[in-house]
Amino acid sequence: MIEFAISDPSAWMVLSAESIAAVVIVAGLLQIVFYFVLLLYAGAALGTRPPVPRSATLWRRYSEQAPAISVLAPAFNEELTIVESTRSLLALQYPDFEVIVINDGSKDGTLARLIAEFGLEEVDRFVDRSVQHAHIRGFYASPRLPRLLVVDKENGGKADALNAGINCSRTALFCAIDADSILETDALLRVVRPFIDEPDLTIAAGGTIRIANGCKVDSGRITDIKLPRNFLALVQIVEYLRAFLMARVGLGKMQALTVISGAFGLFRRRHVIEVGGYSHGTVGEDMELVLKLHRLMRERKRDYRIEFIAEPVCWTECPDTLSVLGRQRARWQRGALECFVKHRNMLFNPRYGRIGMVGFGHILLVDVLGPLLEVLGYVLVPLLWALGLLALPWLLAFLAVTFMLGVFLSIATLVLEEIQLRRFPKARELAVLAVIAVVENFGYRQLSNLWRLQGWWQFARKQQSWGTMTRKGFSTS
Amino acid sequence: MTTLRALWEVSLALCLLAVLALLVLLVARVLAARFSGRNSAARRRLLPLLLDGDPATLEPLGRAELQVAADLTIELAEMTRGSERDALLARAASLGVVDLLVKRMRSRSPQTRLFAVEALSLFDDAREKVVGALDDRNPDVRLGAALALARYREAPAALTIVNKLNVREEENSLLLVSLMIDLVETNSEAVAGLLFEKDLSNRVKVAAMDALAERGGEYAPLLAYMARDSEGEPDLQPRIYRALGKTGHPIGAEAIFEGLGSASWTVRAAAAEAVGRARLAAAADRLSALLEDPNYWVRYRASEALLRIGPTGIKALREASDSEDPVVRTAAVKMLAEGRAR
């Protein structure tokens, strides 16, 4: 039979077409099954999480034992927002913290504004030299604000600035954030929980990033949660819900988390120094740090935990134009590929336990193969069906894994959000997001995959630039 | 082909199921919004009763209003103290809040049980019911109950509590320190006794030591003994040195000086910190030697301690600031500069 099939050109073409479709469908199905498992784990994690009290109760319970934290806020050319951001950080509700703003060689008046607004003076500071970074030009502080230290350094990028902050910090824990994001006032009290519950095991914990576009901001605080009107921003709200509420909560429950967002993560300083801090020369420095931590602990056969906590929230502004969003997505893709290639020996390596099997399996399936196979499917499956080389069930199966199950996962994430967290104040907002969860599959999803292919191309050409992220600034009430 | 079609059909079914579930939740949200209007009205009515009502004339509330009253009581209790809080709780008890909280302690949700335990512990007459929560199946509820009882000096013996907390899995939370600090207030001997329990983990013992250190020099000899005895345990020993430093008692000096020469940098750094806290001026030379330690934290803690122990330490820092060794010189110069800025 096989000899007959291969000798018959039309049968050979059908067999080839079916093989291509089968690869695309199986890869898509594997992704969906993986996400489905993550959703179940996320549901279990949220359903069994420790009680989540109000801020006042948290303070009463944790304030005596909460370990000191250094909040590291790298800033580059942020003179318009830096004063308000720093004020908002200084107003965080946490018993013992310092804010270290790292001016990463800004070309605008970022440093001058900080000095003028907070009455800072140049001081000296005895700092560590454990991790590498560009030259520090000076330190600025004020006796009136003992919690604030401004570090002025030569430009070296975000990873370099964070390394400088790590060297300057004097606490066991540091929290890496983006200076232009907004931490909720009780975010530190909430994200520190695993470090209090399991102080000997926890080495890192990440919190949720939410999109602030459309929300009202007053004095560096979110005062009114609203949905944006911009379609791209709305789609990203659904994407972030999937990424944080489903993927990261699920992977955290599995103890297979491979990334803690650079916009909000709490780390044990000692372990980060052991892995050499943030890596230079990569655009995925946040992911790489977590992978390096896993590698260190696994190779030294030490027990550890890297957690994801859903309740603490950091608000960030997302891109709302195609060009900026495209650049961001291509950069994220490039970062994931760089990390994957750099640590490829961890893939399916039993030495690295569930990180090698589950964490790296996830990266391979979703970040490495995902965009390639999905775009291949968009081009070939409908074409082969139109040419009569594929029967209708093949096309339906492709549509099932790319569209229908995608819609199912997005809606199921919204259901999980509504049951467990209820962070959208109005029912109407949830309904709007449900519509977006369906609509995004027709057009946006394909475009997103093209951006990721662009990231693949940039990675193949070893392109290193970050691109420009144009921010409009939060709307104020 | 059947499999491919089945995939399509299953995907359609799952989509419909998810949409249906979301619709149900949306309807529930709309209905809940109506109830929240009623709740707001109930809060407005209950607030003056709780703040200013006469307990003798207050009648037990119906179920819906009682839920609101319980939540409101907890919120207000966190904002009030002393006689004001006592009066608030008396009014809440007259309205039937205690009975509702007792019912909530039987809830399936650990969150609800924990809130109930913490709220019940506010009421003097209801604390015996909280004791039962020490056997709860959820470790957070057990710890919450222990903390609440200890805060009001009504906790069982330290060892009994620890054993209850360690049922099923060992309790590792740093909140054990808060618990021990409260337990020390009622029976410090019982907490000190935990240090001699062979079956207890280091985590519990360290929490007990931290709490005992809060009593000042009373337990310093015991901590000094434990510091020496824990040599070779780099995770445990630094905590003991910190506790010893916290006591500020000179009897711990010899043990702390030994720690300055430990092979583990975490122990050296903790011992140097303890020198600064206890202001042991006799350690100035040893601290000066640590300014060339290969680890930053040891150099930092040593230079900081030199600054804290006063004139002898500052003199040592000044001498070190002329050192030919750049590592020693930097540590001394920078710390002197920081000292001037403070």
Of the residues A96, A122, A149, A411, the best mutation for testing chain B's interface (the one with the most B CB atoms within 10 Å of its CB) is A411
pLDDT band at B198 (very low <50, low <70, confident <90, very high): confident
Query: What is the bridge-based pairing of β-strands A173-177 and A69-75?
Result: parallel
With an 8 Å Cβ cutoff, are A407 and B18 in contact?
yes
Residues 111-130 of B with CB under 8 A from A: 111, 114-115, 118
**Contact by Cβ (8 Å): B159, B190:** yes
Using a 10 angstrom Cβ sphere, with 0-12 exposed, 13-18 middle and 19 or more buried, the burial of residue B211 is: buried
- Work out the average pLDDT over B48-73: 88
CATH assignment of A53-353, among 3.40.50.300, 3.90.550.10, 3.30.470.10, 3.40.120.10: 3.90.550.10
Query: Which chain A residues contact residue B142 at CB under 8 A?
Result: none
B241 part of contact set with chain A, CB < 8 Å:
no
**Contact by Cβ (8 Å): B145, B112:** no
- Provide the edge-to-edge strand list for the sheet that holds A173-177: A121-123, A136-142, A145-153, A97-104, A69-75, A173-177, A264-268, A202-211, A305-316, A182-183
B267, B270, B276, B277 alpha-carbon torsion, rounded to 10°: -130
Tokens linked to A295 = 């590698």
Concatenating the DSSP letter of every residue in A256-286 gives ------TTEEEEEHHHHHHTTSSPSS-S-HH
Q: How far is CA B338 from CA A199, B260, B300, B304, B327, in A?
A: 31, 23, 12, 9, 17
pLDDT band at B203 (very low <50, low <70, confident <90, very high): confident
Nearest CA in chain A to B76: A56
Checking if the pLDDT of B104 tops 90, the result is: yes
Q: What is the pLDDT of residues B127-144, one digit of tens each?
A: 889 999 999 999 989 999
B280, B286, B292, B293 alpha-carbon torsion, rounded to 10°: -80
With an 8 Å Cβ cutoff, are A125 and B338 in contact?
yes
- Which letter does DSSP use for residue A241 in this model? I
What phi, psi does A108 have (nearest 5°)? Answer: -100, -160
With an 8 Å Cβ cutoff, are A405 and B177 in contact?
no
Amino acid at A18: E
- Convert A184-222 to b/e letters by CB count within 10 Å (16 or more is b): bbbbbbbbbbbbbbbbebbbbbbbbbbbbbbbebeebbb
- Which letter does DSSP use for residue A135 in this model? P
First to last CA, chain B: 78
Half-sphere exposure of residue A110, counting CA atoms within 13 Å on the CB side? 25
d(CA A284, CA B41): 52
Tokens linked to A386 = 């139109």
Q: Which of B290, B289, B235, B291 is nearest to B267 (CA)?
A: B235
Residues 304-333 of B with CB under 8 A from A: 330-331, 333
Q: Which of A402, A401, A259 is nearest to A332 (CA)?
A: A259
For residue A116, how many other CB atoms are within 10 A of its CB? Answer: 11
Domain boundaries, chain A: 8-45+364-460, 53-353
What's the confidence (pLDDT) of residue A477? Answer: 43
Using a 10 angstrom Cβ sphere, with 0-12 exposed, 13-18 middle and 19 or more buried, the burial of residue B137 is: exposed
What phi, psi does A422 have (nearest 5°)? Answer: 50, 60
Q: Which of A187, A176, A188 is nearest to A210 (CA)?
A: A187
A265: left (phi over 0), alpha (psi -120 to 50) or beta: beta
β-bridge partners, A209:
A314
d(CA B260, CA B269): 8
Per-residue pLDDT of chain A (477 residues; tens, 9 = 90+): 455 555 688 889 999 999 999 999 999 999 999 999 999 999 999 988 877 667 777 888 888 899 999 999 999 999 988 999 999 999 999 999 999 999 999 999 999 999 999 999 999 999 999 999 999 999 999 999 999 999 999 999 999 999 999 999 999 999 999 988 999 999 999 999 999 999 999 999 999 999 999 999 887 889 889 999 999 999 999 999 999 999 999 999 999 999 999 999 999 999 999 999 999 988 899 999 999 999 999 999 999 999 999 999 999 999 999 999 999 999 999 999 999 999 999 999 999 999 999 999 999 999 999 999 999 999 999 999 999 999 999 999 999 999 999 999 999 999 999 998 888 888 899 999 999 999 999 999 999 999 999 999 999 988 766 555 555 555 554
Checking if the pLDDT of B62 tops 90, the result is: no
Domains of chain B: 27-104 (no CATH), 241-342 (1.25.10.10)
Query: Which chain B residues contact residue A201 at CB under 8 A?
Result: 172
β-bridge partners, A208:
A313
d(CA A95, CA A58): 11
A231, A232, A235, A241 alpha-carbon torsion, rounded to 10°: -130
With an 8 Å Cβ cutoff, are B18 and A405 in contact?
no
What's the confidence (pLDDT) of residue A469? Answer: 55
d(CA A402, CA A406): 6
Instruction: Tell me the nearest-neighbour CA distance from B235 into chain A, angstroms.
Output: 9
CA geometry: angle A51, A55, A58, nearest 5 deg: 55
Residues 147-166 of B with CB under 8 A from A: 147
- Work out the average pLDDT over B86-93: 93
Mean pLDDT of chain B: 91
d(CA B177, CA A171): 19
